Amino acid sequence: MSNHRIAARYTKSLIALAVERGELQAVYSDMQLLEQALQNRDLHLLMKSPIVAADKKLAVVKALFEGKVSALTLGYLQLLIRKGREAYLPEITREFFHQYRVIQRITSVRITSAAPLSDAVVAQIKQRIQASGLANENLEITTQIDPSLIGGFVLEFDDKRYDASLASRLAALKAEFSKNQYVREF
């Protein structure tokens, strides 16, 4: 079975149980904490290691997360370790965030601009996306800066990309001129 299918199945179970118990927001916060903790190389390698015994991994997880995450999340982590699925934790956290966004009807939007955008401009872009009806009503917007765009911005969400950058317009103009349509023959 592929990593993605394993992650999807385990995530689906966790989300269903969290929704049933009314703890989805708490589990979401726990998964954010877990994702940050897995950035630690030592913890990441420990979870991936087939050599370290499950009881040692359980002890580490209990020491790190007991009292910091909900009982549901801690029990879930212990289940993953007992089932030998702890190596898939990075994939499971990514899949959790994906499924969470689907359930909460959140669309992730990335705006890449040549220069930092003001809050007013971001709010205006958000308003236009919502008015277009192309995305869910809840938007999660991230911005990044890419000076190579020269000016304008690139907007990406779902499988859509709107490129309003000066660099792309200049590239299109260059391609048009390279076709030599403007050379007059005598």
Residues 82-111 pLDDT 10s: 999 999 999 999 999 999 999 999 999 999
Instruction: Please list the residues that pair with 172 across neighbouring strands.
Output: none
Q: How confident is the model at residue 174 (pLDDT cuts 50, 70, 90)?
A: confident
Number of domains within the chain = 2
- DSSP secondary structure code for residue 180 in this structure: T
Q: Do residues 2 and 29 lie in contact, with contact meaning Cβ atoms separated by under 8 Å?
A: no
pLDDT, one tens digit per residue, over 44-88 is: 999 999 999 999 999 999 999 999 999 999 999 999 999 999 999
Angstrom distance (rounded) from CA 165 to CA 147: 10
Angstrom distance (rounded) from CA 66 to CA 72: 11
Q: How confident is the model at residue 159 (pLDDT cuts 50, 70, 90)?
A: confident
Judge if pTM exceeds 0.85: no
- At 63, which CATH number? 1.10.520.20
Q: Specify whether 11 is located in the same domain as 94.
A: yes
Residue 91 resides in a domain? yes
Q: Specify whether 54 is located in the same domain as 113.
A: no
Residue 184 resides in a domain? no
Which residue spans within 52-175 are E strands per DSSP? 106-113, 138-145, 153-157, 160-163
pLDDT, one tens digit per residue, over 10-41 is: 999 999 999 999 999 999 999 999 999 999 99
Q: Specify whether 152 is located in the same domain as 112.
A: yes
Q: How confident is the model at residue 2 (pLDDT cuts 50, 70, 90)?
A: confident
Q: How confident is the model at residue 182 (pLDDT cuts 50, 70, 90)?
A: low
Q: Specify whether 64 is located in the same domain as 124.
A: no
CA distances from 104 to 15, 112, 176 (A): 12, 25, 44
Residue 52 resides in a domain? yes
Q: How confident is the model at residue 186 (pLDDT cuts 50, 70, 90)?
A: low
* More confident call, 111 vs 174: 111
Quote the Cα angle for 172-173-176, to 5°: 90
Question: Which pLDDT belongs to residue 135?
Answer: 87
- DSSP secondary structure code for residue 87 in this structure: G
Residue 24 resides in a domain? yes
Domain boundary among 44, 70, 102: 102
- At 128, which CATH number? 3.40.30
Closest CA to 27 of 81, 116, 97: 97
